[in-house]
């Protein structure tokens, strides 16, 4: 197999509703999130039987599921991304997509992208690492609205273009795994996720998304009153002048949506909270080059 490059956007959900079907294929979520760049970029090859993310070897879990699903034991992925697993960026889904593509090319030497995406989705569900990230990252295009759960080809989603010059600054303010999140907030996620999605669909757009994502993170308990008050105080000037559109918390990730004209000011304001990651809107979904 020749060397192939896979590019996958990251994805941060603002609100969502889990659906658990009788099989992993029929399991997923509906909701709305932002697809972001820098992308996960991966070289996939059968020459090396190793999966590396940011120079760290990834074993077990997703890889074992994909070996079983594809019947391919030897495939290689050398990936780089602007984040680490478990931080709330949908990175496990992006890596699963790259691994599924690598395994398929190693086996068939021909890419059937929809099948690879389905395998990635199933692996995510089996390992409790995500429910809706695969279909969102496959589509891309800015704000992705998932209206039917499942992988591409079964689930349904559409994208809404986000205006130019919008950035997303993030700060990790704790550590919560996806299984912990799904367990600890399950009932509130389903209740408040349905309400947020219904409000959004009446008037879809970035501002309405951000407003409902903040309310969702507050009502589910992902964003405590203390955190919300502190962030509001830190960002009071850029919130007041309208450059910061809004903020929310997904798992333990603080997400601030703002215009690029106040980038330096927002970075300075957030610096007291921890390491800042700056991202922008990903206009494209998953792409494969070199096949």
Distance from C-alpha of 251 to C-alpha of 271, rounded to nearest angstrom: 20
Same domain, 146 and 252: no
- Same domain for 100 and 79, yes or no, is yes
What is the pLDDT at residue 185?
76
User: Domain check: are 96 and 128 in the same one?
Assistant: yes
For residues 28 and 148, state if they share a domain: yes
Tokens representing 247 are: 């903020």
Dihedral sign for Cα 113, 119, 120, 122, please: positive
Q: What is the pLDDT of residue 2?
A: 66
pLDDT per residue over 22-37, tens digit each?
999 999 999 999 999 9
pLDDT < 70 positions in the chain: 1-2, 47, 109, 176-178, 182
Rounded to 10°, the helix 206-220/186-202 angle is 160
Q: Is the same domain home to 154 and 223?
A: no
Q: How many domains does the chain have?
A: 2
Residue 120: its pLDDT value, please? Answer: 98
pLDDT at 167: 97
Distance in angstroms (rounded) separating the CA atoms of residues 196 and 216: 7
Q: How far apart are CA 93 and CA 9, in angstroms?
A: 10
The domain in which residue 129 lies consists of: 4-160+283-289
> Do 25 and 150 belong to one domain?
yes
Residues 65-94 pLDDT 10s: 999 999 999 999 999 999 999 999 999 999
For residues 147 and 227, membership in a common domain is answered with no
Q: Are residues 108 and 91 in the same domain?
A: yes
Q: Any bridge partners for residue 288, and if so which?
A: 6
Whether residue 114 is found in the same domain as residue 215? no
Same domain, 228 and 146: no
Q: What is the pLDDT of residue 124?
A: 97
CB 93 within 8 A of CB 120: yes
pLDDT at 108 (0 to 100): 74
Residues 178, 50 within the same domain: no
pLDDT of amino acid 84: 93
Give the pLDDT score at 164. 83
Residue 214: give its domain's CATH number.
3.30.70.890
What pLDDT sits at residue 218?
Answer: 97
CATH number at residue 47: 3.30.230.10
Contact between 285 and 139 (Cβ < 8 Å): yes
């Amino acid at each position: 197999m020749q060397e192939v490059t896979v590019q996958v956007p990251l994805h941060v959900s603002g609100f969502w509703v889990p659906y658990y079907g009788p099989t992993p294929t029929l399991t997923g979520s509906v909701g709305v999130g932002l697809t972001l760049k820098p992308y996960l970029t991966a070289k996939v090859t059968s020459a090396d039987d190793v999966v590396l993310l940011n120079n760290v070897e990834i074993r077990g879990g997703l890889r074992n599921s994909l070996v079983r699903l594809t019947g391919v034991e030897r495939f290689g992925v050398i990936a780089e991304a602007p984040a680490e697993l478990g931080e709330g960026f949908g990175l496990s889904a992006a890596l699963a997509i790259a691994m599924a593509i690598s395994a398929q090319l190693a086996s068939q030497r021909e890419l059937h992208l929809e099948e690879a995406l389905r395998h990635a989705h199933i692996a995510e569900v089996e390992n409790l690492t995500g429910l809706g990230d695969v279909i969102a990252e496959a589509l891309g295009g800015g704000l992705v609205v998932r209206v039917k759960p499942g992988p591409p080809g079964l689930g349904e989603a559409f994208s809404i273009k986000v205006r130019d010059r919008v950035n997303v600054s993030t700060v990790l303010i704790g550590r919560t795994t996806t299984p912990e999140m799904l367990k600890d907030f399950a009932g509130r996620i389903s209740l408040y996720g349905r309400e947020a999605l219904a409000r959004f669909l009446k008037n879809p757009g970035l501002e309405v998304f951000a407003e409902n994502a903040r309310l969702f993170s507050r009502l589910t308990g992902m964003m405590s009153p203390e955190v919300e008050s502190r962030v509001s105080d830190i960002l009071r000037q850029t919130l007041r002048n309208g450059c910061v559109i809004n903020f929310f918390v997904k798992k333990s990730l603080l997400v601030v949506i703002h215009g690029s004209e106040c980038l330096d000011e927002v970075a300075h304001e957030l610096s007291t909270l921890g390491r800042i990651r700056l991202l922008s809107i990903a206009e494209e979904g998953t792409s494969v080059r070199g096949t």
